[in-house]
Amino acid sequence: MRLLPFLALGALVLPLAARANDPNSYAQPDQVVVTHLDLDLKIDFPHRQLDGVATLKLDWKNPHAQALVLDTRDLQIASIAAVGADGKTSALKYALAPADKELGSKLTIEAPKHPAQVRISYVTSPGASGLQWLPPAQTADKKAPFMFSQSESIHARSWVPLQDSPAIRFTYDAHVSAPKDIRVMMSALNDAKHLLDGDFRFDQPHPIPSYLLAIAAGDIAVKETGPRSAVYAEPSVVDGAAREFADTEKMIETAERLYGPYRWGRYDLLVLPPSFPYGGMENPNMTFATPTIIVGDKSLVSVISHELAHSWSGNLVTSAAWRDIWLNEGFTTYVQGRITEALYGKRQADEEALLSARALEKSIDRMPANSQKLAPDPRGVGADDALSDVAYDKGSWFLRTLEQRFGREHFDAYLKSYFDHFAWHSITTEQMLAYLKPNLIEKYPGRMSWDEVQQWVYGTGIPKDAPLPDSPRFDTIDKERGAFLADTLPAAKLDAKDWNTQEWMYFLDRLPDEPRLEQVQQLDAAWHLTGTHNAEIGMRWYVHAIAAGDKAVWPAAAEHMARIGRLYLTMPVYGAFAKTPDGLAYAEQVYARAKDGYHPLTQQAVERLFAKAKTKLEATGGR
């Protein structure tokens, strides 16, 4: 593939023509680019909507451009006006196209005179795909409603009209009105001591892509965890969360020693209700996190080191398109491992790397060939579907391979220079490779060929010589699992009393897809896995027990599914039920009860799974 040429200004800035080809956005950045967003929002809990005014500062690129084209989804547009230098407004004509199921509605604003700013008044839909509204009953403390956003991948357009592409970065400021006693937070600098007076102001001085635009509001307390970090959560959750995430400042300092200064000022955490669909979301200055990682022993805090690592890989240096998302997630997963190793030891970091590598080895060959590539060829998939295990786990495995070949000292220096060189820019895979070749591969010749690099990035599968860390603990678990499955070691005799979360995950991950019922029952009798509140262990346990035909676990599995809206921990259990007619019927009953507590993204995922399962069962006659 032809590499993009180096450009001026000291960075490989993505050419405007290339940025105009984002298949997941209607935006035309070769014509005009949004450089700043001034946002005024009123939170309306009773109507589950935001009343908004978005003022966009524009940089017109084409002197002959006739229109500003924006992305929207389910927005009611009230008015659009040009804003002059004197602050006076004049109405602009606009057209809102019929909605596309994936992309939403293209908003075309006639602007042949190229105004410096355009102001849009609008209202969001109660069903906005990027917002979740929870009544008090669906919160931990059940005292006040809660609202939060999830803009990644292309859901910012459901609550702000903008150019919703990761290639386009903008600064923003915001004024948000809310009911008194409700705290509002955004992906900007937040004031832990802010009065709950219903009037909040935010400033994000660094240019960010639209998927990092975030907001949340609810009955939220604060507890400081360091000189530049705090935990925000519902009052009943905040103390436990602060204890679990007490090492946040140490994480920041560790990352800074490796890759240079933390450039965002503060790094705060917001623990959301269980319906949050992801483990964490790296919103600048304010990571959104799932409560499922609070287990009391810090064994799952690598989610926080992952989201913190995004402050360098993803937020500072951003993939320019969802096709290149491995530049965010693969790099971040690698950095996460380095932070985990520094704080919690090589054993935990190696175990986590092995868990992800073994899971990828098991699944990658079942994927379409193009989906196995770090940088896939153009394909007709939605932006949300780009976030696969390949981006995270094959991407980080590639970087671990580079570290092994070139040595940690050389690779650390390279990675720090990479973050510095591309800081505050969105780039493609090809731009990353154009920097990698002279600054690492050719700088230290004979350690890795360019053909090997190309195979990692554009090839299918995992290269046969991909390195894996050693784990004596995992080796012992493999032997015990083998003996247990061969009926030579009873479940009660497993040396599992001191297994940590990762070791239980590893044991369960490598059980047969359909274990024998009597062996599943032995395990449960010995180790009481049914009903565990460790969601990582629970998800794996229920999938295997359901596959084995153990209906005794169904009520506990249903409680797990209803309690947790995190896609990664809920969808596999739905999938296990959906393989049989009886299981599918039961899962549909669970979903009917749990649906209102799920995020729209989780609802969409479950409903798509049900549709596919029904088609498959019909085709096989229910077998």
Query: Do residues 176 and 184 make contact, with C-beta atoms less than 8 angstroms apart?
Result: yes
What's the pLDDT score for residue 8?
A: 32
The pLDDT tens digits for 192-238 are 999 999 999 999 999 999 999 999 999 999 999 999 999 999 999 99
- Domain span(s) for CATH 1.10.390.10 in the chain: 317-458
Instruction: For residues 33 and 44, give the distance between their C-alpha atoms in angstroms, rounded to a whole number.
Output: 30
Tokens representing residue 505 in the block? 């995950």
What's the pLDDT score for residue 1?
A: 30
The residue written with tokens 């409603």 in the block is: 145
The pLDDT tens digits for 552-577 are 999 999 999 999 999 999 999 999 99
The pLDDT tens digits for 428-455 are 999 999 999 999 999 999 999 999 999 9
**Is the dihedral angle over the CA atoms 18, 19, 25, 26 positive or is it negative?**
negative
**CA 503, chain centre distance (Å):** 24
Count the neighbouring beta carbons within 10 Å of the beta carbon of residue 9. Answer: 7
Tokens representing residue 33 in the block? 């680019």
- pTM value? 0.92
Higher pLDDT, residue 188 or 381: 188
Query: Do residues 150 and 107 make contact, with C-beta atoms less than 8 angstroms apart?
Result: no
Count Cβ atoms within 10 A of the Cβ of residue 491 and give its class: 0-12 exposed, 13-18 middle, 19 or more buried.
middle
Class of domain 317-458: mainly alpha
- Does domain 472-620 sit in CATH 1.25.40.320? yes
Which SS3 state, helix, strand or coil, does residue 81 take? strand
The pLDDT tens digits for 360-392 are 999 999 999 999 999 999 877 678 887 889 999
Tokens representing residue 378 in the block? 């153009």
pLDDT at 4 over 50: no
Helix axes 554-563, 567-577, angle to 10 degrees: 150
Cis peptide leading into residue 153 (ω within 30°): yes
The rounded mean pLDDT for the chain is 94
**Is the dihedral angle over the CA atoms 533, 539, 545, 549 positive or is it negative?**
positive
Percentage of the chain beyond pLDDT 70 is 96
pLDDT at 328 over 60: yes
pLDDT band at residue 296, thresholds of 50, 70 and 90? very high
Count the neighbouring beta carbons within 10 Å of the beta carbon of residue 459. Answer: 15
pLDDT band at residue 621, thresholds of 50, 70 and 90? confident
What's the pLDDT score for residue 514?
A: 96
Count the neighbouring beta carbons within 10 Å of the beta carbon of residue 481. Answer: 18
Angle CA(215)–CA(220)–CA(223) in degrees, nearest 5? Answer: 110
What's the pLDDT score for residue 622?
A: 67
Mean pLDDT of 540-559: 98
- Domain span(s) for CATH 1.25.40.320 in the chain: 472-620
pLDDT band at residue 619, thresholds of 50, 70 and 90? confident
Instruction: For residues 375 and 391, give the distance between their C-alpha atoms in angstroms, rounded to a whole number.
Output: 9
pLDDT at 398 over 70: yes
> What's the DSSP call for residue 6?
P
Catalytic positions are 307, 392
DSSP one-letter string for 157-226: GGTS-B---TT-EEEEEEEEE--TT-EEEESS---TT---SSEEEEEEEEEEEGGG--EEEES-EEEEEE
pLDDT band at residue 281, thresholds of 50, 70 and 90? very high
